[in-house]
Structure formats: C-alpha cells, structure tokens
C-alpha cells in the first residue's frame, strides 16, 4: 500500500504554506477589528465632545460657594438670614450661577419684578410665558436685594423669629410663605445645604481688616463676566468706597436718593446727578446700584462693548466709568440717540 496516499489529507494542515496563510488571515482580522474599534471610539468622542465642552464651561456648586460665601456671611451679619440659606437658594435658583437669568441679569434668586420694582427687567418663560424678573447691575446687588426682599416683606416676617443656625426651619418657612411653587422646595434646599456643607458658614463672621481673604479681595479675583466691586479703598461715613477705572464709587442702599447720598458723603447736591449722568436728581436709587462720587473718565479701560438687550448709553457709561458725553462723542452719536442691541460701541 502506498503510504503517501494516506499522508496527503494531513498535508493541508502541516504544510508551512497553509500555516502562514492562517496567520495572514488572523492578522487581517485583527487589523479590521482594530480599525473598527478606533472608528467607533472616534465617533463616540465626536458625539460626546460638545457635552464635555459644555460641562467644562459650567460652574460647579463648590466653585459657586467659594466665590460668594463671603457675601452670604456679610449679608447674614447685616440682616440675620442664615448664610447656608442664602447660598443654598443661590445654588438652586441660579443652577450654581449657570442659568440664563444669572448670567444675563445677575439675578441669583429668581426674584420677579412685582409691582413695586422700578429697575431694569429681564423676561423669560417660567410659571407663565414672558414673566418679568429683576435685573441687577452686579451679583452683589442681587444678594442685597434678596436680603431686603425677605426682610421688608410681611410674608416672610416669621422667618426672622427663627434661630439663625436652624436652616431646616428656614427652608420649610420659605416654602410655607410661598417663595417657590415646587412642593419639594424645602427638601431640595435642605439637601443642597447638607450636600455642600453650607451650614458651616452659619457660625462664621467676617471682620473687616482682620480676615486674610476679605470679601473685596475675593471679589477682586472675579471672572470677566461678573461686574462686582473691584477694590475696597476705605470707609466713608460708614459706607464702603470702591474704585472702577480709577473713579471712586459707593453702592446704593435701600431708600437712598442722590440728595441723601450727597448729604451723607458731604458732597454738593448737584454732584451725584452730574457724576452719574442722571437726568432726574430726585430719582430713587436701586439697592446695589453703582454711584460715582467723583467725575467719570473720558475713556474706559476696555476697548469696546457690544450692546445687550435692556442696556442704555447711560447704563453702559456706568459699567465702564466713562462720561456719557464722551461715550456719545467716541461713537458719533447725538444727544437723544439710543444704543441698538448688537451695536459695537467704542470705549476709548
């Protein structure tokens, strides 16, 4: 019998040629699998990249607390509202400073206009379409207005009979008084306070001059989108004095008018309206409003400004501490001309 005949069937598995063929097939499959995995990963990355970029640009609750805790403690000392409640509401109502209302109107507490509001407004859909919300010049003004909103309203009077460190009672009291329509508001507020350990700030105090990171120094490290006081210079008649574009200013308190401020700061009656380009000297000032106590400058530190909805030439001149007449002159505008939304104004 020819033994070679019986060896042939096994020869296809034992030959070096076919072993190499199998290796080649295996290599090609591995390459195809690798390419497939790489393509899949690339597609997933491209799909997720926008979300990742958005997440990177959002402020966290921890960053929000670090940024505004000194204001909350200061307001607690002035009005008796727990710092934990102030910060907790700020986080909830403004999505930690990320909401449109917070970014575009500096409104961190969701306070609506109400019939007694005479300041700027911001409109957005809420419980109803195009509801009117208060718009502030800076975040500090929003915090102070929130304090006065609670302190001066009979609806919230019972809150101030509670202990300053009893954040749970304050949370339930706010819900009972109708601060928010969400039936879970008190529980959400308590959860926010406890998750971020905000209760620790209810026992803290800020002493001017003794604190290594005072409020004004912390606010000095602001982002370019925040319009908050830059440098604390001194106190004048018990009122903090700040500077912007090398021009001194103070922040208006509740009930202030140009006349009362002039008297308090030992200025002439005409100086406050003139330095701030006010048309009416008897107007009522908004708490937190920037009031210059010396002449503004002929040009700003910034080069230009893009006009936003609700802004006027006068309000823009206040933001940059530039004289209104010089702002008009730089942009070839006549008296009576108004700024248009989207218009790029020269500031220097």
CB 108 within 8 Å of CB 140: no
Question: Picking from 73-82, 196-205, 282-291, which range would have the lowest pLDDT averaged per residue?
Answer: 282-291
Nearest in space to 341 (alpha carbons), one of 317, 312, 298, 299: 312
Note the pLDDT of residue 217.
37
Number of domains making up the chain: 2
The β-bridge partners of 239 are 236
Note the pLDDT of residue 243.
81
Q: What percent of the chain has pLDDT over 90?
A: 31
Note the pLDDT of residue 213.
36
Note the pLDDT of residue 106.
93
Residue 41 domain flag:
no
111 — pLDDT class (breaks 50, 70, 90)? very high
CA 324 to centroid of chain Cα atoms: 27
The verdict on 109 and 155 lying in the same domain is: yes
Higher pLDDT: 45 or 159? It is 159
Burial zone of 285 (CB within 10 Å; 0-12 exposed, 13-18 middle, 19+ buried): buried
The verdict on 226 and 330 lying in the same domain is: yes
Instruction: Find the mean pLDDT for residues 18-42.
Output: 61
Residue 28 domain flag:
no
* 3-state secondary structure (DSSP) of residue 142: helix
Give every CB contact of residue 217 below 8 A, 6+ residues apart in sequence: 232
Note the pLDDT of residue 10.
47
The verdict on 198 and 307 lying in the same domain is: no
pLDDT for residue 51 is more than 70: no
Note the pLDDT of residue 268.
85
Burial zone of 230 (CB within 10 Å; 0-12 exposed, 13-18 middle, 19+ buried): middle
What letter does residue 137 receive in the DSSP assignment? S
Helices 167-177, 83-94: inter-axial angle, 10-degree rounding: 50
Note the pLDDT of residue 87.
96
pLDDT for residue 284 is more than 60: yes
First and final C-alpha spacing in the chain: 108
The verdict on 328 and 293 lying in the same domain is: yes
The verdict on 65 and 192 lying in the same domain is: yes
Residues spanned by the domain of 241: 215-346
Q: Which of 203, 232, 256 is the last residue of a domain?
A: 203
Instruction: Find the mean pLDDT for residues 178-189.
Output: 92
The verdict on 190 and 271 lying in the same domain is: no
83 — pLDDT class (breaks 50, 70, 90)? very high
Q: Which of 181, 203, 225 is the last residue of a domain?
A: 203
pLDDT for residue 8 is more than 50: no
pLDDT digits 0-9 by tens, 307-318: 887 888 988 998
How far apart CA 320 and CA 299 sit, in angstroms, is 8
Q: Which of 203, 238, 259 is the last residue of a domain?
A: 203
Residue 32 domain flag:
no
What letter does residue 112 receive in the DSSP assignment? B
The β-bridge partners of 121 are 134
Residue 338 domain flag:
yes
Calculate the alpha carbon distances from 289 to 93, 231, 254 in Å: 22, 16, 10
The verdict on 285 and 334 lying in the same domain is: yes
The verdict on 251 and 195 lying in the same domain is: no
The verdict on 222 and 252 lying in the same domain is: yes
pLDDT for residue 176 is more than 90: yes
Question: Picking from 90-99, 162-171, 275-284, 324-333, which range would have the lowest pLDDT averaged per residue?
Answer: 275-284
Residue 281 domain flag:
yes
Note the pLDDT of residue 74.
84
The verdict on 284 and 244 lying in the same domain is: yes
The verdict on 248 and 153 lying in the same domain is: no
Helices 185-195, 83-94: inter-axial angle, 10-degree rounding: 110
Q: Give the CATH number, domain containing residue 98.
A: 1.10.530.10
Residue 148 domain flag:
yes
Residue 46 domain flag:
no
DSSP H stretches of helix in the chain: 3-14, 16-57, 61-79, 83-94, 100-105, 139-151, 167-177, 185-195, 215-220, 258-264, 271-275, 313-320, 324-330
pLDDT digits 0-9 by tens, 189-228: 999 999 999 999 998 876 443 333 333 333 333 333 334 3
The verdict on 98 and 157 lying in the same domain is: yes
CB 78 within 8 Å of CB 175: no
CB 171 within 8 Å of CB 193: yes
pLDDT for residue 167 is more than 50: yes
Residue-averaged pLDDT of the chain? 78
């Amino acid at each position: 019998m020819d033994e070679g005949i019986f060896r042939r069937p096994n020869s296809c598995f034992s030959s070096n040629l076919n072993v190499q063929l199998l290796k080649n097939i295996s290599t090609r499959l591995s390459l195809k699998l690798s390419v497939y995995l790489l393509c899949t990963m690339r597609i997933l990355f491209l799909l997720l990249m926008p979300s990742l970029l958005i997440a990177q640009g959002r402020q966290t609750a921890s960053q929000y607390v670090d940024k505004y805790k000194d204001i909350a403690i200061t307001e607690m000392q002035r009005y008796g509202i727990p710092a934990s409640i102030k910060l907790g509401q700020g986080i909830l109502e403004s999505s930690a400073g990320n909401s449109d209302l917070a970014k575009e109107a500096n409104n961190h507490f969701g306070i609506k206009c109400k019939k007694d509001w005479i300041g700027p407004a911001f409109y957005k859909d809420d419980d109803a379409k195009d509801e009117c919300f208060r718009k502030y010049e800076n975040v500090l003004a929003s915090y102070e207005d929130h304090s006065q909103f609670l302190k001066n309203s009979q609806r919230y009077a019972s809150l101030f009979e509670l202990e300053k460190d009893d954040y749970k009672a304050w949370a339930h009291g706010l819900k009972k008084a109708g601060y928010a329509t969400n039936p879970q508001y008190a529980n959400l507020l308590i959860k926010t306070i406890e998750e971020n350990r905000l209760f620790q700030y209810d026992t803290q105090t800020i002493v001017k001059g003794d604190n290594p990171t005072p409020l004004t120094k912390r606010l000095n490290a602001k982002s370019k989108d925040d319009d908050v006081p830059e440098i604390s210079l001194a106190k004048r008649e018990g009122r903090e004095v700040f500077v912007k574009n090398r021009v001194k200013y103070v922040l208006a308190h509740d009930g202030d008018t140009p006349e009362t401020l002039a008297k308090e700061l030992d200025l002439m009656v005409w100086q406050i309206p003139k330095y701030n380009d006010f048309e009416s000297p008897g107007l009522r000032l908004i708490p937190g409003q920037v009031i210059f106590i010396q002449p503004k400058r002929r040009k700003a530190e910034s080069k230009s400004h893009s006009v936003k909805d609700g802004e006027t030439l006068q309000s823009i001149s206040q933001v940059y501490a530039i004289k209104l007449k010089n702002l008009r002159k730089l942009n070839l505008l006549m008296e009576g001309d108004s700024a248009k939304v989207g218009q790029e104004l020269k500031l220097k």
